[in-house]
Amino acid sequence: MKVSIIGGGITGLTVAYYLSKNGFDVTVYESSYFFGGQASSIKIDEYNIERGYHHIFKNDYEIIKLIDELGLNQSLEWHKSSVGMYANGSLYKFSTPIDLLKYKPISLINRIRLGLLSLYLQKKKNWKPYEAISANKWILKYAGKEIYNRVWGPLLKAKFGIYHKEIAMPWFWSKMKTRFASRNKRGDEILGYLKYSFEELINSLIDNIEENSGKVKLNHKVTSIGQEKGRIDNIEYICDGIKKKVKTDIVICTAPSYEIKKLINFNQKYTDKLSAAKYLGASVFILKLRKQFSPYYWMNIIDDEIPFLGLIEHTNLVSKDRYGGNHILYITNYLSHTDEIFKKDTKELLDIYMKNLKKINPEFNKEWLLSYHYNAVSAAQPVIPKNYSSLIPEIESPIENLLIGNTTQIYPEDRGTNYSIKIAGEIVSLLKEKVRKL
């Protein structure tokens, strides 16, 4: 059975790996010049580093299982994380419950309340009662204005911008559950990272697909999915300026929802589901620095004057020795793809960010910068609305031999590599069951 997989990100590659392992004739069509999507890496000097910061939580069971199955478990290392908050012009440690009690931007009584609410959400197992309320309203109601204005509210605004009031409470619940699940008995957050970057996982998937006689194709942009008598019959793609059509038995599309709607027409009900979740884009700088910028791996920015939402200093999780003694700092932003930031010249934007880095660390100067890389992604973060469980586009589309798998189907968890792999597993199980019934 010939299976065409549109998209060579983690979901597409994982589907191809499992299907090829089970004897399916698979071909992956990736429109870009690299595989892995948001988990892909770039080369800085002699080492690989992800285009967007990546790590693994202790409860990311699907990716941990896949890493073990691929024989990469010796490369999976666990490191103690560290979190900081930049607020009121100062930098605060925010890694453990003790740090929370020392967090001066909110009153002592609200520090205790914040800790208790965090524990409550951690222990709450059923997220469904939260579906009809936004995270914005829940926080204001139960945490109060001070906690909202100085901790959780700014984080929501930074993450979702103009959509921050629309985000459903299950998303916030899942973030709290994930962060707490990766803590040890002392309250330290422990995160995983592959020794040679996530490129190691991507390359291993590709190697296994090809060993199983599957095919993976870069720079192959699928432009349409063709039907014959109500079933998918073919796909059309462009490569090197030449348009081609190939016959296929099954199509699995892992593209963003707005791209899927360009490839084929669905009935109105399914089209509405594909439109239910909006997307935010991501603007990410990777800086290679001579010196350490801060003592924290993850720094949340609680300041409306700073034009980015977070700083992730990769070499505060993984040793700088792995990167020639240099320090790797991500500057990250989630914004509407129409935001002015995406229209700015990269050098101009970097200059703006560099000036703001100096506000956070007055010792920082441009002489620290050795090199940089900029990456912009148009569909980085789905915006999940209230009552989303009834709006999620099903993996089995209305067209019998067309399956859909992308980040808008990750719910209530936040999008992430682990859940992309989980969706891949669901796709494979559904397809195998379909074939069994034939």
The percent of residues in the chain predicted with pLDDT above 90, rounded, is 79
**What is the domain extent for residue 345?**
190-194+278-383
Residue 168, Cβ neighbours under 10 Å: how many? 25
**Considering only 119-128, 172-181, 202-211, 277-286, which range has the smallest mean pLDDT?**
172-181
Same domain, 138 and 218: no
Using pLDDT thresholds of 50, 70 and 90, give the confidence band for residue 379.
confident
Q: Is it the case that residue 418 has pLDDT exceeding 90? A: yes
Asked whether the beta carbons of 404 and 333 are under 8 A apart, the reply is no
Given this model, what pLDDT does residue 176 score?
85
The answer to whether residues 283 and 271 belong to one domain is no
Confidence of residue 44 (pLDDT cuts 50, 70, 90): confident
> How does pLDDT run across 62-118, given as a tens digit for each residue?
999 999 999 999 999 999 999 999 998 999 999 888 888 899 999 999 999 999 999
Contact between 2 and 250 under an 8 Å Cβ cutoff? The reply is: yes
Asked if the structure places residue 77 within a domain, the reply is no
Tell me how long the chain is.
Answer: 438
Give me the mean pLDDT over the 133-150 stretch: 95
Residues 226 and 365 in one domain: no
pLDDT average, residue stretch 405-418:
93
- Which residue in the block uniquely carries the two structure tokens 């995160």? 191
What pLDDT is attached to residue 145?
95
Residue whose pair of structure tokens reads 């605004």 in the numeric block: 157
Instruction: Identify whether 57 is part of a domain.
Output: no
* Of 24, 40, 22, 20, residue with least CA distance to 32: 40
Find the CATH number of the domain harbouring 244. Answer: 3.50.50.60
Query: Which residues make Cβ contacts (< 8 Å) with residue 345, sequence separation at least 6?
Result: none
Cβ contact 200:75 at 8 Å: yes
Higher pLDDT, 153 or 26: 26
pLDDT-derived band at 244, boundaries 50, 70, 90: very high
Q: Is the same domain home to 375 and 408?
A: no
pLDDT at 279: 92
Q: What is the C-alpha separation between 244 and 126, in angstroms, rounded?
A: 49
DSSP states of 351-371:
HHHHHHHHHH-TT--GGGEEE
Helices (H) and strands (E) in the chain, counts: 13, 19
CB of 222 within 8 A of CB of 237?
yes
Query: Is pLDDT above 80 for 375?
Result: yes
Helix axes 61-69, 417-437, angle to 10 degrees: 70
Q: How many distinct structural domains can be found in the chain?
A: 3
Tell me what pLDDT residue 195 has: 94
Answer yes or no: do 141 and 206 share one domain.
Answer: no
Query: Where does a domain end: 131, 151, 181?
Result: 181
Q: Would you say residue 429 has pLDDT above 70?
A: yes
Per-residue model confidence (pLDDT) at position 330: 97
Cβ neighbourhood burial of 305 (10 Å; 0-12, 13-18, 19+): exposed
In this structure, is residue 405 part of a structural domain?
yes
Split at pLDDT 50, 70, 90, the class of 393 is very high
- Both 272 and 203 in a single domain? yes
**pLDDT at position 277, please?**
93
Q: What is the pLDDT of residue 314?
A: 97
Sign of CA dihedral 135, 284, 314, 353: negative
Model confidence band, residue 14 (pLDDT cutoffs 50, 70, 90): very high
Q: Would you say residue 69 lies in a domain?
A: no
The verdict on 14 and 159 lying in the same domain is no
Residues 6 or more apart whose CB falls under 8 angstroms from that of 277 comprise 257, 382, 383, 384, 385, 388, 391, 408
Q: Are 269 and 403 in a shared domain? A: yes
The residue whose two tokens read 């700083």 is: 311
Whether residue 414 has pLDDT greater than 90: no
Judged against a pLDDT cut of 70, whether residue 438 lies above it is answered with no
Q: Is 226 helix (H, G, I), strand (E, B) or coil?
A: strand
Q: What is the pLDDT of residues 294-341, one digit of tens each?
A: 999 999 999 888 999 999 999 999 999 999 999 999 999 988 878 888
- According to the model, what pLDDT value does residue 380 have? 87
Q: Are residues 272 and 289 in the same domain?
A: no
Whether residue 436 is predicted with pLDDT greater than 90 in this model: the reply is: no
Q: What is the mean pLDDT of the chain?
A: 93
Instruction: Tell me which of 62-66, 127-131, 402-406 is least confident.
Output: 127-131
Does residue 204 sit in the same domain as residue 286?
Answer: no
Share of the chain above pLDDT 70, in %: 100
131, 205: one domain:
no
Residues 261 and 175 in one domain: no
Q: How many CA atoms lie within 13 A of 33 on its CB side?
A: 2
Q: Of 181, 213, 230, which closes a domain?
A: 181
| Average pLDDT of span 212-237 | 95
pLDDT at 160: 86
- Is the pLDDT at 343 greater than 80? The verdict is yes
Residue 331 lies in a domain: yes
Q: pLDDT: is 181 or 377 the higher one? A: 377
Give the per-residue pLDDT at 161: 78
